[in-house]
Amino acid sequence: MQQMQRQYLKDSVHLSDAMVDSVMAVRMQYGPQMRQIFTDQSMSADDKQAKVQNIRTAMEARYKAIGLTDDQIAMMREHDQRMREQMRNRTNSGGGGNGNQ
């Protein structure tokens, strides 16, 4: 999965190897925090959304500090959204008894 992400950053976002390494380091830093939020059963969906948005904002600030442009950050944001939707669709269609959706 990480290799696919690295390839996407190089090929589609047009980042250098050094910038890819920096972006991956940021993702590795914030990933555990995001996973913890998603798995916290005591938080409401709205609370989770707000906390995740705060983390995404912090990540984007780090991306800017690395030297990514607004367009590159937007491309990554859109790609991440598509990936989340695909995962959500897989989860919704694979886990239930209704194999059609």
> Structural domain boundaries of the chain?
2-83
Percent of the chain past pLDDT 90, that is, above it, reads 77
Report how far residue 43's alpha carbon sits from residue 1's, in angstroms, rounded to the nearest whole number: 28
Per-residue pLDDT tens over the stretch 82-100? 988 988 888 777 654 444 4
pTM: 0.81
The reported pLDDT for the residue numbered 31 is 93
Q: Please count the other Cβ atoms lying within 10 Å of the Cβ belonging to residue 30.
A: 16
The reported pLDDT for the residue numbered 95 is 52
Angle, CA of 23, 29 and 32, to the nearest 5°: 125
Name 52's Cβ contacts closer than 8 Å, sequence gap at least 6: 34, 37, 38
